[in-house]
């Protein structure tokens, strides 16, 4: 077949990017791109370097709540030790096992995914996909 008659396609969406975020009653937090596998070290870095400063500014009296699901990295000893060291900074809510449908951010991710699927044309590469995630995320009413 002649090359001008061929078109490159990607099977099953062609890849993915991982993002992490938070939201509160007041606003959406930042959309954090996770470049490597989300393990306990990466998760702790997000919590300590991104989430904790935001919560300290937004809730200086320590009257905020942080809700995690039961991802393995959330229960890792280094993560649990960090939370114990910062016990008065916010309240860490316990989360029942096997209850993803109860996690409020899952509804936000569903809205973002739905909006991205409706884009015409669809993002064609990871850089384009990443910028669409950010603009779509900011456009969702949390």
Given a cut of 50, whether residue 114 has pLDDT beyond it is yes
The structure tokens listed for 11 are: 């099977």
What is the pLDDT averaged over residues 26-33?
83
Mean pLDDT of the residues in the chain = 79
**Residue 7 forms part of a structural domain:** no
**Residue 74 forms part of a structural domain:** yes
Pair 83, 92: CB distance under 8 Å = yes
The structure tokens listed for 79 are: 């993560």
**Residue 106 forms part of a structural domain:** yes
Give 62-84 pLDDT, tens digit per residue: 899 998 888 899 999 999 999 99
Q: What is the pLDDT of residue 133?
A: 58
**Residue 97 forms part of a structural domain:** yes
**Residue 116 forms part of a structural domain:** yes
Q: What is the pLDDT of residue 142?
A: 44
In angstroms, the CA 110 to CA 18 distance is 14
- Count of C-beta atoms within a 10 Å radius of residue 77: 8
CA dihedral 80, 84, 85, 88 (to 10 degrees): 130
Given a cut of 60, whether residue 14 has pLDDT beyond it is no
**Residue 1 forms part of a structural domain:** no
Given a cut of 80, whether residue 9 has pLDDT beyond it is no
Given a cut of 70, whether residue 11 has pLDDT beyond it is no
**Residue 112 forms part of a structural domain:** yes
| β-pair type (32-34, 18-20) | antiparallel
In angstroms, the CA 141 to CA 77 distance is 35
Cα–Cα nearest to 40, from 82, 74, 63: 74
**Residue 2 forms part of a structural domain:** no
- Range from 51-55, 94-98, 116-120 carrying the lowest mean pLDDT: 94-98
Q: What is the pLDDT of residue 121?
A: 77
Into how many domains does the chain fold?
1
In angstroms, the CA 138 to CA 140 distance is 6
Question: Tell me, what CATH number does 70's domain have?
Answer: 3.30.420.10
Given a cut of 80, whether residue 46 has pLDDT beyond it is yes
- Count of C-beta atoms within a 10 Å radius of residue 97: 6
What is the domain range of residue 41?
15-139
111: alpha, beta or left, given left = phi > 0 and alpha = psi -120 to 50?
A: alpha
Kindly report the pTM of this predicted structure: 0.72
Which are the contacts of 83, defined by CB distance < 8 A and separation ≥ 6? 92
Give 117-134 pLDDT, tens digit per residue: 887 777 666 555 556 556
């Amino acid at each position: 077949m002649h090359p001008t008659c061929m078109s490159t396609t990607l099977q099953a969406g062609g890849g993915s990017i991982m993002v992490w975020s938070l939201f509160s009653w007041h606003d959406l937090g930042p959309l954090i791109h996770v470049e490597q596998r989300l393990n306990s070290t990466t998760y702790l870095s997000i919590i300590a370097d991104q989430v904790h400063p935001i919560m300290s500014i937004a809730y200086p009296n320590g009257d905020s709540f942080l809700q995690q699901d039961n991802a393995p990295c959330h229960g890792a000893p280094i993560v649990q030790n960090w939370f114990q060291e910062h016990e008065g900074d916010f309240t860490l809510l316990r989360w029942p096992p096997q209850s993803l449908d109860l996690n409020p951010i899952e509804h936000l991710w569903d809205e973002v995914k739905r909006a991205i699927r409706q884009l015409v044309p669809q993002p064609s590469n990871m850089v384009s996909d990443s910028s669409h995630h950010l603009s779509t995320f900011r456009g969702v009413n949390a």
